[in-house]
Amino acid sequence: MLYESTRGQFRRVSPAEAIKMGIAPDGGLFVPGEIPLVTGERLKEMTALSYQDKAVCILKEFLSDYTREEIKQCVELAYAPGKFDDPEVAPVRKLGDSLFILELWHGPTCAFKDMALQILPHLLTRAAAKTGEESTIVILVATSGDTGKAALEGFKDVPGTRIIVFYPERGVSEVQKLQMVTQEGENVDVVAVRGNFDDAQTGVKKIFGDAQFNRELEIENYTLSSANSINWGRLVPQIVYYFSAYLDLAARGEISFGEKINFVVPTGNFGNILAAFYAREMGLPVNRLICAANINNVLTGFIRTGIYDRVRQFKKTISPSMDILISSNLERLLYHLSGRDHAMVREWMEGLSKTGAYRVDKPTHARIGEVFWSDFADDDETLETISSLYRRCGYVVDTHTAVGVNVYEKYAAATGDGTKTVVASTASPFKFNESVARAILGEGAVRGKDEIELLEALSAATGMVIPPGLKDLDKKPVLHRKTAAKDRMKAAVRNILLNSAR
């Protein structure tokens, strides 16, 4: 299978090349030339397999130039029992007759990013070997909090790689910051950017696009790549858990084979929900994909009207991993739903970069509406959902997942659709414990306590065990203190790679 750029101005590449390059040189994203189909019979056969073996089946469909043995190795390294603290890897919990939760945060950093970032380094190092790459691969990451730590954990001490993470100095939670600045590993660097997430992301994109600097690095045997969800290697492992969730429901008799279900996905960069779209296109029986947004609700507007308009105030919320105005992976959806129309995708993306807005044509918008539905929740609704879910079911969700549950309730009320629905739970409640504690324990229990103290308070009140990755964070030594002005990120990379005596 070959991959092509959404913008159609670069040659087709092998899966290994697509993963190694991360982003296409014409500015587009790599997409599979065809989408493999999984028949109903094949789906049934997968039911009895472990999560790991299901992953091998799905990944093999897309990574045609990897051997089954190679994929098996990658999968086993990534989803090992020592890495994920639940034997099912991504367990499904039942909250109501038709409401289920898919817990995607049992990995080392307690957010769903681990599902992909635990395996990406292994896929990438094998891709480098396959394509004859001899340079050290340098992963540059801009993070609003969760991706950075997950990428650091995934890439630490992986031979042939270096990783540099940029985070907005004041844009991440205390827990997220401590997770990153205490990161161990010989090949890792963490830099605080004096700016917001968009500044960090723009800075990283500029470095990728700086041909002169890339040549300079090449001479020193470095080649840049991305671990953000623009990399196909991030998306494909995410398709697996939509299959596994469906098969788990079927195996437990909650649904019959072939019965359609809905997925609700708390969405930021549109990566997670896009993986669900690919699963649906592959033939997984899925009715609606419900895109849940917070008040940075550009996507809700887009799905309803066909107009993407990012020209608005960026708002900080209690679900920060969804505070995003430019959802990169939407480009892949537009490509597929426009009938693989490169020229149209180029035009829309040009509109986005020039004016901050574009409108898709009627047929494309109609196709979006057949698959997707969207609404949003503000911070008060998010807190109320955490609290009411805890009171009703004794189940604790984080702020992002709460946005998903809230939007599911709006969907059910608006449409009357009683289809069995799975909400993707994207982070452990302990990771966003300040808001969760406020919702469950009340304002008084939160006042005057820092996030580390609140871990204990939340655990004591709910009986949930603090995940090992978050415990004792304040006792670990701080290993990273570098900072950079937002327009000095390239200099920071140069210092780390070319001038440092490590």
Report whether 454 contacts 173 (CB < 8 A). Answer: no
Of the pair 192, 273, the CB lying nearest ligand PLP is at 273
Q: What is the dihedral of CA 57, 58, 61, 62, to 10 degrees?
A: -140
State how far the Cα of 118 lies from the Cα of 324, in Å rounded to an integer: 24
Written as six digits, the tokens of 31 are 């997409």
> Which residues sit at the interface with ligand PLP, rule CB under 6 A?
111, 113, 146, 229, 266-272, 321-322, 400, 426-427
Residue 317: CB minimum distance to ligand PLP, A: 11
**Distance in Å, CB of 329 to ligand PLP, minimum:** 7
SS3 40: helix
Q: Name residues whose C-beta falls within 8 Å of residue 324's C-beta, 6 or more positions apart in sequence.
A: 144, 197, 268, 269, 296
Provide the residue type at 194 as one letter. Answer: R
Instruction: State yes or no: is 113 an active-site residue.
Output: yes
CB of 333 or CB of 492, closer to ligand PLP = 333
Query: What count of other Cβ atoms lies within 10 Å of the Cβ of residue 366?
Result: 12
Closest CB 104 distance from ligand PLP, rounded Å: 9
At a CB cut-off of 8 Å and minimum separation 6, what does 499 contact? none
- Taking residue 280's Cβ as centre, other Cβ atoms within 10 Å add up to 20
- Smallest distance from ligand PLP to CB 144, Å: 8
Nearer to ligand PLP, 13 or 334 (CB): 334
**Among candidate residues 95, 144, 141, the one with its CA nearest the CA of residue 402:** 95
Strands (E), 197-355: 222-226, 261-266, 286-293, 307-309
Which is closer to ligand PLP, CB of 66 or CB of 197? 197
Residue closer to ligand PLP (CB basis): 111 or 337: 111
302 alpha carbon, distance to own chain's centre: 20
Q: How far is the CB of 228 from ligand PLP (least distance, A)?
A: 9
Which one, 250 or 386, has the nearer CB to ligand PLP? 386
| Residue 195 structure tokens | 């700016």
CB-based burial of residue 79 (10 Å sphere; 0-12 exposed, 13-18 middle, 19+ buried)? buried
* Single-letter residue type at 34: E
Q: How far is the CB of 13 from ligand PLP (least distance, A)?
A: 23
Return the DSSP state at 145.
S
SS3 category, 31: strand
Round to whole Å and give the CA distance between 303 and 92: 28
Question: Per the structure block, which two tokens stand in for 396?
Answer: 């604790």
Q: How far is the CB of 445 from ligand PLP (least distance, A)?
A: 23
Buried b (16+ CB within 10 A) or exposed e, 81-97: eebbbeeebbbbeebee
Choose between 146 and 434: whose C-beta lies nearer to ligand PLP: 146
Phi, psi of 380 (to 5 degrees): -65, -45
Where are the strands (E) in 39-135, listed by range?
A: 92-94, 99-103
Rounded to a whole number of angstroms, the minimum distance from the CB of residue 41 to ligand PLP is 31
Give whichever of 110 and 250 is closer to ligand PLP, judged by the CB atom: 110
Pairing state between β 99-103 and 92-94: antiparallel
How many other β-carbons are positioned within 10 Å of the β-carbon of residue 30?
Answer: 27
CB of 238 to ligand PLP, least distance (A): 8
Tell me the closest approach of the beta carbon of residue 459 to ligand PLP, in angstroms.
19
Tell me whether residue 116 or residue 164 sits nearer to ligand PLP (CB atom). 116
Contact 331, 349 (CB under 8 A): yes
Q: With 0-12 CB in 10 A as exposed, 13-18 as middle and 19+ as buried, what is 501? A: exposed
Q: Which is nearer to ligand PLP, 296 or 364 (CB)?
A: 296
Do residues 444 and 425 touch, judged by C-beta distance below 8 A?
no
Give the other-Cβ count within 10 Å of 239's Cβ: 25
Among residues 60, 72, 94, 113, the one annotated as catalytic is 113
Any idea which residues carry the catalytic annotation? 113
